[in-house]
Every structure is written in C-alpha cells, then in structure tokens.
Amino acid sequence: MASSIWTLVRRLFKQYIYLGDDIDTESAAQRIKGGIWFRGPNVWILAFAIVLASVGLNVNSTAVIIGAMLVSPLMGPIIGIGLGFGTNDVDLLKSAGKNLVVMVIISLLASTIFFILSPLSLVNPTELEARTAPTIYDVLIALFGGLAGILENSRKERGTVLSGVAIATALMPPLCTAGYGLANLNFHFFFGALYLFLINSVFIALATYLMVKYLHFRQASNGLPEITRRRKQIVTAIFILFLVPSIWSAVVLVKENNYERNASYFVETNRVVGPQSYIYDYKIQGRHIDIALAGEPLTDSLRNVFIAKAAQANIKESSITLTEHTFGMSQTQMNSLINEIYTRTDEGMAQHNAQMATLQSRLDSLSLLVGSLSHQTDSLMQLIELPPLPEEELEIK
C-alpha cells in the first residue's frame, strides 16, 4: 500500500516538473550564441542604457533604473560563458569572454563620462551606495536569476521571464556605480560595485552551466576535450573566491541589522535618563550609537545606571557616545526662568483678551448702528410704497 502511494506521488510530481516536452536545447544554443555579440546597434543600445541608468542613479530614481535594465543587452555574453563551459565549446567561451570585456569597457566609459559631465552632485547617493556592499543575498539572486534565465531561453515558447531576470540580477547599476567611482576617484565605490558586478556575472554563468548540464545540451564537437580535473579545480576556486567574501558581508549585514534593531528598542524604552534629563535624538552607524541628551547634566550614578542598562541590552559602553546639551544653570534658576516665561505668557494673554473685549464692544456698537439704519430704511421704503389716492379725491383737490 505504501509503495503504491509513493509511486503515485512520484508520478504526479514528475508530471508537473518534467521539462522535456517544453524544451528545445538546439534553438536555445543558437539564440545564446547569437546574443553574445556587441557590435553595431548593440553597442549603441548598451551605451544609451548605461547613460539612462546613470541618470536614474544620479537622481535616485528607481523607475528609471528599472527601465534601463529592461533596455540593456548585458546578459548575453555571461550566459554565453556558462553555455561554453557546459558544452565544452572553446570558441564560444573565447568569443563570449571577449565580448564581456568589451561590454564592461563600454559601460565604464559611458558611465564615467556621464558622471564627469553631470551637473548634479548628490549629498546622499543612496542608490549608488546600495551597489557597493555585495552580500550572500546578491549571490542567491544571481544564481536563481541565472537559472530562470537559461530555462526561459530553453523554452519552446518564451514569455517575459527574461525581463524579470534582467531586473532581478541588476547587472547594469553596479557598472554605473563603478563609473561614478572612477569619475569621482572614489575607489570604495569603484571596487565595491565592480565586485558586485563580478559576483552577478560569475553566478549567472554558474547557473547557466548547471542548467545546461541538467538539460543535456549537445556537446561541441570541435571544442574542448574532456575537462580535466585541474580545470574543474580552477573553476571551483573562482566560485569560492567570490562566494566566501559575499558570505562574510552577509554575516556583517545581519549583525548590524540586529544591533540597530536592538539599539533602537533600547533607546525608545529608556528615553528618560534622569529626573530632569532625557534622550531627544540618537543616530546608529554600524555598531555604534550616538545619543544626544537634553536637560540637567547627568550625575555619575545616573550615567552608571544608564550604561548598566545598555550592557543588559548587549550594548557595550565603548559603542555609546553621550552628548549632553544642558542649559548651564541650576534647577532653581531653570524653574525661575520657566515661571518667568509663564508670567509673560499670562500677561500677553491678558492683553490679548483686553484687545478682544474692546473689539467686541466696537462690534456691538456697530451692530446697533446698522440696526438703526435698517429700521429707518424700512420706514422710508413704506412711505415710498404708499397706494395712490382715489380719482374723486384728486378732483376735489
């Protein structure tokens, strides 16, 4: 009984995931080979798309960046490299690699020239900064995006999946950010963005390679001989070289996110530090928090209590900077100043009420005058509207 149920489950599962009837590997290989070239219109389209994406990054416009990614023909050579590895086609591998280099050079030149000539200088380039710190999540996006891309290329009836893959893998913004780094001699932006682009490229190629092997693309007859163990080791080393730093970046990102959430909760629940002192502002940068205090200066005991509470929340004293903004006066002087402010406010309100009473009296007088004039006007209108005398009375007169 159990074996028959398992057989039925396997049959149903295979029915839904089987790819053979919807896949055409020969047509897919020809499409991929035809899409690796960067000559003529493709070069101009790439340059225009790069400038468009650079404008979007320059003005922090996500919509423009997405539009540029839809226009760009960037994925062709990268998928071609994966296909070349998967089918042992050395000619395709060389051509795709050469065109990838051409693509990167064109993109860097176009974006660098734009940012040199652009009159805009962003104070907070958030869209650019987002492309300078790759993590394991970028690896996962590139890997699964590449799997979806090669599978879409292999379908007999293709849909709109490639457009979504182009947006998800985001190959273009890192190159634009690298150009921004060159234009401004900011090598943090340049190397961070270039590393993100390389991560995307390597793992899209890896996804293509895996899917090509899974779908049994036809091997090249005039290509590489059997891939040797040495070459496999080199390819594995390349992927590990890109994977390990990205995993480390992801770990750092998660720790910083947890610290920020924990620090924010601690500050919000400990706004009042002392009887006359409170937190009115704070800023979290990395694993450090700047806290601004207002009110009376903290005593040593209050400061120690605050630091102890922070330690209980796993926030070290060395990661806290307390900045006190005091009034420079005693509590008695402060109370006197506050009472004086209240007194002046009461006097001002009394003057205001007196002025309002005067205006109300004048308004009442004006209302009486208007009422009197209205009464006189009604009497005059009645005189004007008297009925005419009869004709007999007119003849007697």
Query: Over 60: is that where the pLDDT of 124 sits?
Result: no
Confidence (pLDDT) at 389: 47
Lowest mean pLDDT among 113-127, 130-144, 148-162, 326-340: 326-340
| Residue 183 C-beta-side C-alpha neighbours within 13 Å | 23
* Confidence tier at 120 by pLDDT (50, 70, 90): low
Across the beta sheet with 320-325, the strand order is 272-274, 277-285, 288-295, 320-325
Query: Over 50: is that where the pLDDT of 136 sits?
Result: yes
CATH 1.20.1080 holds for 22-227:
yes
Class of 260-325 in CATH: alpha beta
Lowest mean pLDDT among 17-26, 49-58, 197-206: 17-26
Query: Over 50: is that where the pLDDT of 190 sits?
Result: yes
Report the pLDDT averaged over residues 116-131. 67
Report the pLDDT averaged over residues 322-348. 62
How long, in residues, is the chain? Answer: 397
- 377: exposed, middle or buried (Cβ count in 10 Å: 0-12, 13-18, 19+): exposed
Return mean pLDDT, the chain.
Answer: 75
Confidence (pLDDT) at 49: 85
Query: Over 50: is that where the pLDDT of 333 sits?
Result: yes
Report the pLDDT averaged over residues 271-283. 78
Lowest mean pLDDT among 92-106, 306-320, 364-378: 364-378
* Confidence tier at 267 by pLDDT (50, 70, 90): confident
How far apart CA 20 and CA 6 sit, in angstroms, is 23
Report the pLDDT averaged over residues 209-238. 70
Is the distance from CB of 92 to CB of 73 less than 8 angstroms? Answer: no
Look at 226 and 351; give whichever has higher pLDDT. 351
Query: Over 80: is that where the pLDDT of 268 sits?
Result: yes
Q: Two tokens at 315? A: 């926030």
Lowest mean pLDDT among 102-111, 177-186, 258-267, 276-285: 276-285
Report the pLDDT averaged over residues 30-52. 82
**Phi, psi dihedral angles at 393 (to 5 degrees):** -65, -30
* Confidence tier at 396 by pLDDT (50, 70, 90): very low
Look at 252 and 196; give whichever has higher pLDDT. 196
H or E element that contains 294:
strand 288-295
Is the distance from CB of 131 to CB of 244 less than 8 angstroms? Answer: no
